[in-house]
Amino acid sequence: MAFRKYTQFQMTLLRRLLPSTCAIVTALVVAACATPGESKMKEGSFQLLPLQAVDLAPGIALAYDNVSDSRCPPDVRCMWAGKLSFEFSLKTPDGNEAFSLSPEQPTYISPALHGARIVLDTQAVPPPRASQAAPAPTPVTLKVLSP
């Protein structure tokens, strides 16, 4: 078996390049083996009407399903003040997660979103409608905040 002889220049070049080449190869291998991170969730403020949805991340959508408004109209005297409740669902690859928000309970922490908070903007809640007014779609403003 014959051994190849290297010149002084080749040996110096090899000694200088080998450590940095090994470091680069190691970094590439580690990066290739790393588990892919979670997709970046869309944060911010969203205004929705009933039956509208917003995509928060690939495969995850937040849908505004329904509103239940039994609040006392301003032109009527009521024995009970009534209640306003918004119904939502998170559609994920693992299934649906239903929840409701109201001015009394404006925050929901989602297991499907790994602890992200969905917060009802209580300043944007519309006032009760007059007793003779035709029902109109009730918009809702939500804030989605990372954990």
Let me know if residue 69 belongs to a domain: yes
> Does the pTM of the predicted model rise above 0.85?
no
Whether residue 35 is predicted with pLDDT greater than 50 in this model: the reply is no
Looking at residue 36, its pLDDT comes to 42
Let me know if residue 35 belongs to a domain: no
Let me know if residue 5 belongs to a domain: no
**CATH code where residue 93 lies:** 2.60.98
Residue 94 belongs to domain spanning:
44-145
CA–CA distance, 134 with 92 (Å, rounded to integer): 35
pLDDT tens for 57-88 read: 999 999 999 999 989 888 888 888 889 999 99
CA–CA distance, 105 with 87 (Å, rounded to integer): 12
Looking at residue 112, its pLDDT comes to 86
Let me know if residue 8 belongs to a domain: no
Let me know if residue 25 belongs to a domain: no
Let me know if residue 15 belongs to a domain: no
Task: Give the position of tokens 């869309």.
Answer: 42
Let me know if residue 72 belongs to a domain: yes
44-48 and 53-57 beta bridge pairing: unpaired
Q: Is 99:108 a contact under the CB 8 Å cutoff?
A: yes
What is the residue-averaged pLDDT of the chain? 83
What would the two tokens of residue 92 be? Answer: 């994920």
Q: For residues 127 and 31, which has the higher predicted lDDT (pLDDT)?
A: 127
